[in-house]
A and B are shown apart, each in its own frame.
Chain A
Amino acid sequence: MNNQTEVKIIDIGLGNIASIQNMLKKIGFDSERMTEPIISENKPDLLILPGVGSYDYAMKKLNDGGWVEFIQKIASEKSTPIMGICLGMQLLCEGSEEGKLDGLSLIPGHFRKFQKNEDQPKLKVPHMGWNEVHFQNSAEWMSRGYEKTPRYYFVHSYYYTHDTSDYVAGETHYGVTYASAIQNGNVFGFQFHPEKSHKFGMNLFRNVMEKIC
């Protein structure tokens, strides 16, 4: 284990930081909460943007706290991996039907609300529970170490859409087939909660840490 690895988690009341820290600790990594957008000399090896709640509430917090420029800046340096979880992944993209505010726009794409349709007249929203993720060949690093199709815990009402499949790293089916894992260079996100997906989530966190170390 590499104890020198610096993992920072953005802590502005937008998600379950304790759960993420508990999971990282379980696989041997310390992490720190970040409450102010200040870049130290040593930039982190991984920046995690967690998130639960509504799109505009979260974007407002990021805007008001000066986080937007901070995140965009360290992302553009290309060397800092940024991982979004759940709403955090949505915030990394351009926007959502849920809100009016622009996202961080680090990964192209918008979010649309799950709708009942003819095939799925009883589709319940949010999509809540354990579902499978099929990782793309292009995101082989995410899928290492799984003996069978991994499943993770999901809770969300909006799903990723984009004209191209350029940023799709993994797909899930719920009413529609959509991207539940996305990546654009050093910026990537998971719609599900790996920190709450016991062994499957633990393995994914290991893959992330291996990728960045």
Chain B
Amino acid sequence: MLKNRVIPALLLKNGGLVKTLKFKDPKYVGDPINAIRIFNDKEVDELMVLDIVASKEGNEPDYKMIELFAGECFMPLCYGGGIKTLEQADRIFNMGVEKVSLQTATFENMELITGIAEKYGSQAVVISVDIKRNFFGKTKLYRSATGDTTNENWKEFLNSAIEAGAGEVLINAVDKDGTLTGPDLELIKEADEELDIPLIALGGISSMEDIREAIIAGASAVAAGAFFVFHGPHRAVLITYPKYEELEQMLDISNE
């Protein structure tokens, strides 16, 4: 049976690994290459590396760093951050990266998705959306590069991205980011009802039980940051990943 994927999501800032809280206050947590080596040894299902400043500062992806990741990573690797053109994506795929995650550039240019999907297949394009709840709890599409919410309907946005060729959706609950307070299950349910393609839920995961609940709510894969890099009430940095047997037992949900 197909096991739901459990994916460490690593955030990059200027070559260092960081962890944010509700998309703010990036805290340095270590050397990314070292982290990737540890995750490799732990046989993780997949890795996601997101550069949180590339789009914000208009930088190119850090190719040198990405190449180092790809060489160390014997599981699928998804990279996101600062990709604006097909040529940039070409360079990244050529290094041994399987998927690119797109967000900022697609607000202006959905055709970027189509160009990459036609060349590398839909499975290689992840459309990433950040969702923030407003004062009344209503879900709003958030732009991580500028740090504001928009009135664009996020479901319509996702559907047009899927139509353009995206093969997978990453949905990140901004208010849950780094809080270790459990996933936004309502949001996951809503997204799952809307989508026929794999859905990766990110934000708030603090335990194996949270992962399980996110999957029951409809996530095809669950990504987490803080859960895999922090340990204990003082948020000491410790890189962990559950053993396969634990995951298998925990995720034995007949939803294949």
Q: Which residues of A contact B (CB under 8 A)?
A: 13, 16-19, 22-23, 26, 52-54, 57, 87, 120, 122, 124-132, 151, 153-157, 173-174, 193, 195-199, 201-202
Contacts and interface: CB of A to CB of B under 8 A. Distances in A.
A202 B221 CA distance: 24
A129 B45 contact: yes
Contact of B123 (A128, A174, A202): A128
B197 A125 contact: yes
Given A18-B94, A53-B119, A54-B121, A129 B74 contact: no
Given A196-B74, A199-B43, A126 B5 contact: no
Contacts of A16: 93, 96-98
Interface in B116-132: 118-124
A124 to B, nearest CB: 5
Contacts of A173: 1, 256
Contact of A202 (B3, B74, B94): B74
B35 interface: no
B163 interface: no
A124 B197 contact: yes
A48 B95 CA distance: 18
A22 B3 CA distance: 26
Contacts of A131: 1-3
Given A129-B45, A131-B3, A198-B43, A124 B196 contact: yes
Interface of B: 1-5, 40, 43, 45-46, 70-71, 74-76, 93-98, 118-124, 167-168, 196-198, 220-221, 255-256
A126 B168 CA distance: 9
Nearest to B70: A18
Given A18-B94, A19-B98, A129-B221, A151 B3 contact: yes
Contact of B76 (A23, A120, A153, A174): A153
B3 A130 contact: yes
Contacts of B121: 52-54, 87
Contact of A54 (B5, B45, B118, B220): B118
B87 to A, nearest CB: 13
12 contacts: A16-B98, A22-B74, A87-B121, A125-B196, A126-B122, A126-B123, A128-B123, A128-B167, A128-B198, A128-B220, A129-B221, A157-B123
A26 B74 contact: yes
B59 to A, nearest CB: 23
A197 B95 CA distance: 17
Interface centre among B3, B74, B75 (most CB of A within 10 A): B74
Contacts of B43: 198-199
B168 A128 contact: yes
4 A-B pairs closest in CB distance:
A18-B96, A155-B123, A19-B96, A53-B121
Nearest to B123: A155
Contacts of A129: 2-5, 45, 198, 220-221
A4 to B, nearest CB: 25
Contacts of A174: 2, 256
A158 to B, nearest CB: 11
B76 A124 contact: no
Nearest to B247: A130
B40 A198 contact: yes
Contact of B74 (A23, A87, A122, A130): A23
B197 A198 contact: no
Nearest to B244: A151
B98 A196 contact: yes
A192 to B, nearest CB: 11
Nearest to A87: B121
A153 B3 CA distance: 10
Contacts of B98: 16, 19, 155, 193, 196
A54 B121 CA distance: 6
